[in-house]
Amino acid sequence: MPHEGLIDLAAARVGGRALVASDEFFAPRHNLLAAGRAVFIEGKYTDRGKWMDGWETRRQRGPERGGGYDWCIIRLGIPGAIRAVTVDTTHFRGNHPAACSLDAAQLPGAPGESARALRALDRAFVELLPRSPLAGHTENEFAVASNAGYTHVRLKIYPDGGVARLRIWGEARPDWRRIAAARRAVDLVAVEHGGVPLATSDQFFSEPLNLIMPGRSRDMGDGWETRRRRGPGHDWVVLRLGRRGVVERVDLDTTHFKGNFPESASLEGCDLGGSGAAPGDDAVWRELLPRTTLRAHARHRLAVSRERRDPVTHVRLNIFPDGGVARLRVWGRVEP
């Protein structure tokens, strides 16, 4: 898996939003956070020029405009620690920026989202990625060394040009003290709570990260689906919980999977304490849910029996023999 153990904190599908930009003459800022790779449509033009699937600014003309760079401020959908950045210039060849940099800020509450309000918070931003060269039509990857949690980022491009996609790879930093104080069951594996898939037997049609995304699935592609198994065995995925906890209930959703849902499924858990690593071959897995028959296009609410409610840090979903699952919710309470 690319960027294993990390999620795109800025993705539109988790609530990321491009709030304001210095300029978006040729293509709007919101394209930066769209899902999937950028596309190119030959011969498609707007009244301002060539249609591009990304964010593209007009050409800088003199140092008085923009101070020699353009910028875009983004509110992360999931606040967290940033580990890596992808500045994707796919399809931008003669019009990509020469360089970029990235700043980040922790802005508590709900600051105003107008250009004036955000620019007034300029001093809250710290530099995470110094000015770095960009290549055209390339997924430019950069490592970031920071452990602080952030809510907003500011992408700067020098001096102008187009960027197809921006990915902010990191780890969610939810307020677990507040969550635990609410004394309600919480989805321990939800992406917004820090859950991540670590390993899977197969992801031929769609990736297991979809399992723990917010909301209901949009269609069959918005789930985890494996290829048809032509031999013995079954498919599985291992996920790390956002926090060690006791699992009380599991929701297994096969919505949109009608002729390709698994015949049955089971769920196991293991407790690796404070380790965030993937379980090794010597990990001791305990059954949380026995193998249970599934239905097509249905939401299954399954209780974990009290004698199986021991703390776990990871879960393994087994599907028999193969197929697709839309969402997995692992409800429980946080343990120290």
**How long, in residues, is the chain?**
336
pLDDT at 1: 47
Residue 180, pLDDT > 90, answer no
As for how many domains the chain has, the answer is: 2
pLDDT at 191: 97
Look at residue 162 and tell me if it is in a domain: yes
Residue 236, pLDDT > 50, answer yes
Residue 113, pLDDT > 90, answer no
Q: What is the average pLDDT across 86-108?
A: 96
Q: What is the average pLDDT across 80-89?
A: 98
Query: Is residue 275 very low, low, confident or very high in pLDDT (cuts 50, 70, 90)?
Result: low
| Same structural domain, 162 and 240 | no
Chain centroid to Cα 81, Å, comes to 13
Query: Is residue 335 very low, low, confident or very high in pLDDT (cuts 50, 70, 90)?
Result: confident
Please give the structure tokens belonging to residue 251: 């929701």
pLDDT at 77: 96
| Same structural domain, 99 and 159 | yes
Strand partners, 319: 235, 265
| Same structural domain, 167 and 286 | no
- Of the three residues 126, 155, 172, the one that is the final residue of a domain is 172
pLDDT at 108: 76
| Same structural domain, 196 and 252 | yes
CB burial class (10 A; 0-12, 13-18, 19+) of residue 175?
A: exposed
Look at residue 294 and tell me if it is in a domain: yes
pLDDT at 213: 98
Look at residue 2 and tell me if it is in a domain: no
| Same structural domain, 272 and 325 | yes
Query: Is residue 177 very low, low, confident or very high in pLDDT (cuts 50, 70, 90)?
Result: confident
Q: What is the average pLDDT across 29-43?
A: 96
d(CA 49, CA 44): 9
Report cis status (omega within 30 of 0) of the bond before 311. Answer: no
| Same structural domain, 123 and 221 | no
Task: Indicate the pTM of the whole model.
Answer: 0.91
Q: What is the average pLDDT across 3-17?
A: 94
Query: Is residue 111 very low, low, confident or very high in pLDDT (cuts 50, 70, 90)?
Result: low
Please give the structure tokens belonging to residue 37: 């790779």
Residue 38, pLDDT > 60, answer yes
Q: Considering only residues 108 and 160, tell me which one the structure prediction assigns the higher pLDDT.
A: 160
Please give the structure tokens belonging to residue 78: 């999931």
Query: Is residue 161 very low, low, confident or very high in pLDDT (cuts 50, 70, 90)?
Result: very high
Between 258-272, 274-288, 300-314, the lowest mean confidence (pLDDT) is in: 274-288
Residue 237, pLDDT > 70, answer yes
| Same structural domain, 243 and 114 | no
CATH number at residue 259: 2.60.120.260
| Same structural domain, 24 and 146 | yes
Q: What is the average pLDDT across 91-106?
A: 97
Look at residue 273 and tell me if it is in a domain: yes
Strand partners, 331: 187, 249
Strand partners, 27: 56
Task: From 278, 238, 264, select the one nearest 322 (Cα to Cα).
Answer: 264
Query: Is residue 270 very low, low, confident or very high in pLDDT (cuts 50, 70, 90)?
Result: very high
Q: What is the average pLDDT across 244-268?
A: 98
| Same structural domain, 11 and 135 | yes
Look at the block and give the residue holding tokens 């198994």. Answer: 229
Look at residue 85 and tell me if it is in a domain: yes
What is the overall mean pLDDT for the chain?
94
- Of the three residues 123, 150, 172, the one that is the final residue of a domain is 172
Q: What is the average pLDDT across 286-314?
A: 98
Please give the structure tokens belonging to residue 33: 């956070």
Tell me if 163 sits within 8 A of 92, measured CB to CB: yes
Residue 66, pLDDT > 60, answer no
- Of the three residues 144, 172, 200, the one that is the final residue of a domain is 172
Residue 109, pLDDT > 80, answer no
Look at residue 313 and tell me if it is in a domain: yes
Between 151-165, 171-185, 225-239, 321-335, the lowest mean confidence (pLDDT) is in: 171-185
Sign, CA torsion 214/220/221/225: positive
| Same structural domain, 136 and 19 | yes
Domain, as residue range, for 215: 177-334
Q: What is the average pLDDT across 41-49?
A: 95
pLDDT at 110: 65
Look at residue 1 and tell me if it is in a domain: no
| Same structural domain, 165 and 181 | no
| Same structural domain, 33 and 182 | no
